[in-house]
A and B are shown apart, each in its own frame.
Chain A
């Protein structure tokens, strides 16, 4: 494995509210190499999104260490962190501000970080995700789900991060648009040498996009696999085997 870009060591995340304590993540470790695409699959509610949010500082870390390029990250994250790591959210219908045009969505990060050549960058970002200039001044309600997700990708890429955290980037999209977005992500990674950390519940999508992956269940990483092992259905744990079996489609209960 090449140089380690992002390393997560026995990460723990605990939420408390009132009398409830939720140990959403209970000691998850993995390393992502520079330029690699790493996948997280697993049960719904197993803490996949929470791992990504913890890396970004959006969820409280209660244990463990997250390091970027060998340096442990401070909480709250420094401004430079956001130039290196960006995230694409699960639901394209919820991740764009309803009153902001595409132009505003894209110029906001540039304004925050004080870029000067905003015009050129916005045009470039739109072209990168395959949206023409005619989309620039539209509101989200004038866009389809796939177009919204492209805007979300453009927003994440406009600060030129090295790492992109992708939280189920295609689960809300239909098959034809999923193919478009996956191809787009693939192309951008090849062109820019980006590092991806991608969450999905669809094994086929992860197998298509990622070289290595971990499988999560109840806040734990139960298994680490390579793409080849996944493709050959060589799984160690029962849970991964169950996932693989269920991916083939619905089978009526035998009992």
Chain B
């Protein structure tokens, strides 16, 4: 399998008054044209890892790595001009907070068309047709209306799907999806995942799928990285997640409620200081 992205010893630090705090501490992995899942609890550094790959670490944070290579391009030394040709067109990211990431005073349609501008130039009517087709593809029932709607007029899940549509219109080679389906019901979720799956299988897109939903990741991804306190504590084949060794991974699995009924109260994760070392 061809390697699309190589990350070695990625570190992200934020300066604080108590000294620099490292929120991603030496993450290494390679990504081919496959589906890689990153799971872990809130604050474990999943989003910061994704952002660092795209060079979007929020200032004053700093990202460093021994190797950060995308399709032969060294991202560490990339100039702003290189980034412009990469971001949006070749690599994009679905951000975690759809309501935060969508502009509240611009219609969805205008924002989609804006995203299309990063891709090839084309007539307006064609761009609109593509935007609407993309909204349809993410299972939005009434794409014409949603095209004209403002973000607050959409349900939580529709906003999230609009975000996904926006990132997919340009057909990137690498997509980092940060909790892309957390507000979707399971049937729509499956459809959205199918789109991603198809892009991986047919167009050879590389996908990094960040999620806290273990059940979903284990059934959707090929490989899974489990993160805890900024570090990868376990790397597994997704299908073997149930046989995970690390107590943290096992704890995360146990917290999930079951349709068939289960323990009450739900077991909560007991953290061990040793995991963070």
Is there a direct interface between A and B, measured as CB atoms under 8 Å apart in the complex? Answer: yes
Contacts from A to B (Cβ < 8 Å): 15, 17-18, 20, 22, 41-45, 48-50, 90-91, 93-94, 144-146, 168, 171-180, 182-183, 186-187, 201-205, 207-208, 218, 227, 230-231, 233, 239, 242-244, 246-253
Q: Does B20 contact A (CB under 8 A)?
A: no
Shortest 9 CB-CB contacts between residues of A and residues of B: A44-B157, A249-B219, A174-B212, A201-B185, A208-B257, A246-B186, A176-B269, A179-B255, A250-B220
Among residues of B, the one whose C-beta sits closest to the C-beta of A15 is B153
Query: Is B136 interfacial (CB 8 A cutoff)?
Result: no
Interface size class of B (residues with CB under 8 A): 35 or more
The answer on a CB contact under 8 Å between B155 and A44 is: yes
User: Knowing that A174-B40, A208-B257 are A-B contacts, what are 14 other residue pairs whose CB atoms are under 8 Å apart, sorted by A's residue number?
Assistant: A22-B145, A44-B158, A44-B185, A48-B155, A146-B42, A171-B156, A177-B41, A204-B257, A205-B257, A244-B259, A248-B219, A251-B190, A252-B197, A253-B197
Q: Given A41-B185, A91-B99, A180-B268: A17 and B153 within 8 A (CB)?
A: yes
- Tell me, rounded to whole Å, the shortest Cβ–Cβ distance linking B143 to chain A: 12
Complexed CA–CA distance, A17 and B150 (Å):
11
Question: How many angstroms between the C-alpha atoms of A43 and B157 in the bound complex?
Answer: 9
A242 to chain B: closest residue by CB: B187
A-binding residues in B (CB < 8 A):
40-43, 97, 99-100, 140-142, 145, 148-149, 153-158, 161, 182-190, 193-194, 197, 212-216, 218-220, 251-253, 255-262, 264-269
Nearest CB of chain B from residue A209's CB, rounded to whole Å: 8
Query: Is B268 within 8 A of A201, CB to CB?
Result: no
- Asked if residues B216 and A183 are in contact (CB atoms below 8 Å), the reply is no
Q: Pull 23 A–B residue pairs with CB atoms less than 8 Å apart, ordered by A.
A: A15-B153, A41-B185, A43-B185, A44-B185, A44-B188, A45-B155, A173-B212, A174-B41, A178-B255, A179-B256, A179-B267, A187-B265, A201-B183, A201-B185, A204-B257, A207-B258, A231-B261, A247-B186, A249-B216, A249-B219, A250-B189, A250-B193, A250-B220
CB distance from A157 to the nearest CB of B (A): 18
